Structure 1
Amino acid sequence: MSKTKESTAVAERELPQPTGVAGPVSPPRVSARRRRPGVVALSLGLIAAGGAGVAVLLLQVGDRTQVVTVVRDVQVGQVLTEQDLGKASIALDPAVKAVHADDLDQVVGKRAAVELRPGSLLARSQVTKDSLVKPGEQLVPIGLKPEQIPATVLVPGQRVQLVHVPAQGQAETDKTSGSPPRTLPGRVVKASAAAPGTGVVVVDVATSADDGPTVAAWVSAGTLRLVLSAPGGR
C-alpha cells in the first residue's frame, strides 16, 4: 500500500462517526408559578364586594315611593281638589318632605298657603286648613306702581302698613298741621308679578272689616303707599 492511501485510511478512522439522525429539540420545561393564598383571597373578596354593591344599587333603584304631585296651577288661598293633584312613583330622598299618595285625602279640601305650580311635589307646609282671610277681615286688591311698593318681594303672610299720603294740592296743608300720616295695618295674601310695560303690582291685602272701605278709597284716590312692617310686627 502506498503512503498516500495509508494516510487517508488513518485520517478516516480518526474522524468522529455519527451515532444517528438528530430528532426535534424539546423546549425548556417551565415550572408553573405558585399562586399565593393571600392574593387569591383578596381577589375573591373584591368580587364579592362588587356583587354586593350592585345588589344594593338595584334595591335602591327599585325602592320607589308614591307621592302627591301638583298637576295644574293653584293660586294662594284656593281650595285644593282631586283634579288639582296627581300621583307619581319616585325614588324619594328622606330629606324631601312630600305628601305620600296614601295621604291624598288629607290635603284635598285644604287651601294652598303658597302658589303651586304643575309638576312640583306637594309638601304639607304648602297647604293650610285655615282661610287666608279670617273672620272679621276683608280682602282689598291694591294696584301699586313701582314707586308705591317696596323692591322686596312680597310673600303671603307678611305684615304691612298701609300709609295714606296727601294728594296733590293737599301737601302744604298737611305739612303745616304737623300730624303724622294715617296708617292702617294689613297682611299680604297674594302679590302678582309686575305687569309688563307699567310695572304695576296687584297686592291682595287682608284688613279689618272696618278698615276695608277706607283702604279702598285710598286706592281709588291714588293716595296709598305700602310699607313693610318689621318681622313679628303687627
Structure 2
Amino acid sequence: MPTHGQAAGPVTPPRVSARRRRPGVIALSLALIAAGGAGVAVLLLQVGHRTEVVTVVRDVQVGQVLTEQDLGKASIALDPALKAVEADDLKSVVGKRAAVELKPGSLLAPTQVTKDSLVKPGEQLVPIGLKPEQVPATALVPGQKVQLVHVPVQGATSTEAESGKLPKTIAGRVVKASKAAPGSGVVVVDVATAEADGPTAAGWVSAGALRLVLDAPDGI
C-alpha cells in the first residue's frame, strides 16, 4: 500500500508476446480455401446443367410399337457415360418397336428401340418352353442367334442315332425370353425361324424332342 501523501505511479501493462506467423501455414490455409471454392463452383455448374430426356411411363413388351402414351419427359443431370434419347427427339421414337422389355421409370436409350419388326417377312415365331436345367446360364437377349436341335425322345427309337447321322438343326433368332415361371422355373423363349422351318420346330417342341443351343456371337 502506498504511504500517505505519495502519488501512485503509472502502471505498466504486461507484455504479451505476439505469436510468430508461419508463412507455410498461411499459404496452406489459402490453398484449401481456394480449392473448396473451386469445388463448390464445379458442383454448382453440374447441378445447373440439366438435360431433358425421354422416360418410360408404362410397361412395354418386346416388339410392341411405342406410342406417346408410353413415354414421358424428365429433366436430369445426365452422366456423359449414359446414352438417353433427348426430349426433342421423342417424336422420332414414337412408332418404333421396343427391342427389349421397357419398365416404367427408366430412361429410354437409342439402342432399346428399332424400326424393324422383330419377326421379319418370311419368318415364323415358335414359342419354346425350357425347363430350369435347359436354360443357358448366358442371358437370352433379343437378336441372339440360336440353333434348334432335334434330339431323340427318351425311350423312343431314333433312326438318326442308329444311323450315326448328326441331329437335325434349325437356325433361329431369339425375339423374347420370359422370366422363369414361379414354381416350375420354366422359361418361354420366342424364336424366329424361316417360314418353312416353323411347323417342324413346333412339332419338335410338342414331342419334347427339341433343345436350344446358343450360337457364338458374330466375330468370335
Bucket of the pairwise TM-score, normalised by the shorter protein: 0.7 to 0.9
Within a 5 Å distance, the mapping from 1:127-166 to structure 2 comes to 127-166=113-152
SS of the residue 1:171 aligns to: coil
Q: Which moved more, 1:56-65 or 1:74-83?
A: 56-65
Tell me how far 1:149 sits from its aligned partner.
3.8
TM-score calculated relative to the size of structure 2: 0.84
Contact between 1:72 and 1:85, CA under 8 Å: does it hold in 2?
yes
Q: 2:204 aligns with which of 197, 213, 218?
A: 218
Gaps of 5+ in 2: none
Q: Is residue 216 of structure 2 the alignment partner of residue 230 of structure 1?
A: yes
Structure 1 residues 88, 176: CA separation in 2 closer, same or farther (over 3 Å shift)?
Answer: same
State the Cα deviation string for residues 127-172 of structure 1 (Å, max 9, x = none).
1111111111111111122344433321111111111122345335
Aligned position for 2:161: 175
Q: For the residues of structure 2 that align with 1:41 and 1:157, how far apart are their CA atoms? A: 61
Q: State the SS of the aligned residue for 2:7.
A: coil
Q: Does 1:186 align with 2:190?
A: no
- Residue 21 of structure 1 corresponds to 7
Paired letter, 1:112: A
Equivalent position of 1:85 in the other structure: 71
Shift in alpha-carbon separation, 1:29–1:193, aligned structure 2, 3 A: closer
Q: Percent identity?
A: 81
Aligned to 2:110: 124
Amino acid aligned to 1:191: A
- Structure 1 Cα separation of the partners of residues 21 and 186 of structure 2: 82
Shift of 1:45: 7.0
- 1:100 corresponding residue in structure 2: 86
Number of equivalenced pairs: 217
Q: Of the two, which has the highest radius of gyration?
A: 1
Judged with a 3 Å threshold, the aligned counterparts in structure 2 of structure 1 residues 163 and 35 are, in CA distance, closer, same or farther, namely closer
Greater shift in the superposed pair: 129-138 or 111-120? 111-120
Note the C-alpha offset of 1:51: 4.0
Is 2:91 the partner of 1:111? Answer: no
Q: 1:188 to 1:27 in 2, by over 3 A?
A: same
CA deviations over 1:211-230 (Å, ceiling 9, x no partner): 11111111112111111122
Give the residue type in structure 1 aligned to 2:121. P
Task: Tell me which residue corresponds to 2:184.
Answer: 198
TM-score by length of 1: 0.79
RMSD over aligned Cα atoms = 3.0
Q: 1:149, 1:227 within 8 Å by CA — same for their partners in 2?
A: no
1:61 and 2:61 equivalent? no
Larger helix percent: 1
Letter in 2 for 1:198: S
Structure 1 residue 100: Cα displacement:
0.9
Unpaired runs of 5+ in structure 1?
Answer: 1-16
2:19 and 2:91 mapped to 1: Cα distance? Answer: 71
Residue 152 of structure 2 contacts residue 158 of structure 2 at CA under 8 Å; is this kept in 1? Answer: no
Deviation (angstroms), 1:126: 1.2
